[in-house]
Amino acid sequence: MKRFEGKVAVVTGGSRDLGRAVCVKLAEEGAKVVVNWNSSEENAKETLALIEKVGGTAIAVKADVTKEAEVKKLFAEAVKAFGDRIDILVNVVGGIVGRKKIVEQDEDWYNCLMDINMKSVWLCTREAVPMMTAGGSIVNFSSQAGRDGGGPGASLYATSKAAVLCFSRAMAKELGPQGIRVNAVCPGMFNTSFHDRFTKPEGREALHRTAPLRREGEAPEIADLVCFLAGDESAYITGAGIDINGGCFFS
């Protein structure tokens, strides 16, 4: 029997990169997966095709998870497809959006970063918890930036990701008595379109020279960690922030 057989997982930002790898791995391990997407239907279709290829079951739901009404729609579609129980929630949605120094930031920029990286986690957690029972697991995506303050121009991204870490600990305390575990992963540099867009090539080359493992991470490696945290193997782990950065930073 596969380890997530009979379980339902909702993955926000599941259509590409790290979220896609998480969706495919959960489905391969037997979970029925709700793949949330917002900006690219084509990416979502590609993810569904990969899930079908490994023999999994999934639906794709378009929703902007920074908006309450759309989060409700996402979970309503999950219930419609797979029943009124959620076993696993993986909050992947997030982003740096751009780089701005403090003197260049305005209130709209602040709200944008906090909405994408923190409000989305809060809204989805609030919606999922009533559908979760003992044994449920929530895995939130923080970042190495949430540990070390991030790179130039990423102060609000780093701050919002630190908030995700704190929120994960708070939820672990609140939901633990119900048998629901909450953890966070803190990725460093991974080989994804995120870093293709926001990290300069010389920065990535420097990491290849100086990182203890001399390389970036690959998406399947974080999918393995998420599945570990979602599964019974980690039954006594909650409130943790797990660093996965090839040794570049130790909390």
- The verdict on whether 236 is a catalytic residue reads no
C-alpha count within 13 angstroms, C-beta hemisphere, residue 105: 18
Would you call 249 exposed, middle or buried from its count of C-beta atoms within 10 A (0-12, 13-18, 19+)? middle
Biggest CA–CA distance in the chain, Å, is 56
- Using the structure block, give the residue that is written with the tokens 């974080």: 222
Marked catalytic residue, from 75, 122, 157, 190: 157
Question: Measured in whole angstroms, how far is the alpha carbon of residue 133 from the centre of its chain?
Answer: 21
Residues in CB range of 223: below 8 A, 6 or more apart: 18, 21, 22, 24, 25, 26
**Bridge partners for 241 per DSSP:** 184
Residues in CB range of 91: below 8 A, 6 or more apart: 12, 120, 121, 124, 125, 138, 139, 140, 141, 164
Catalytic residues: 157
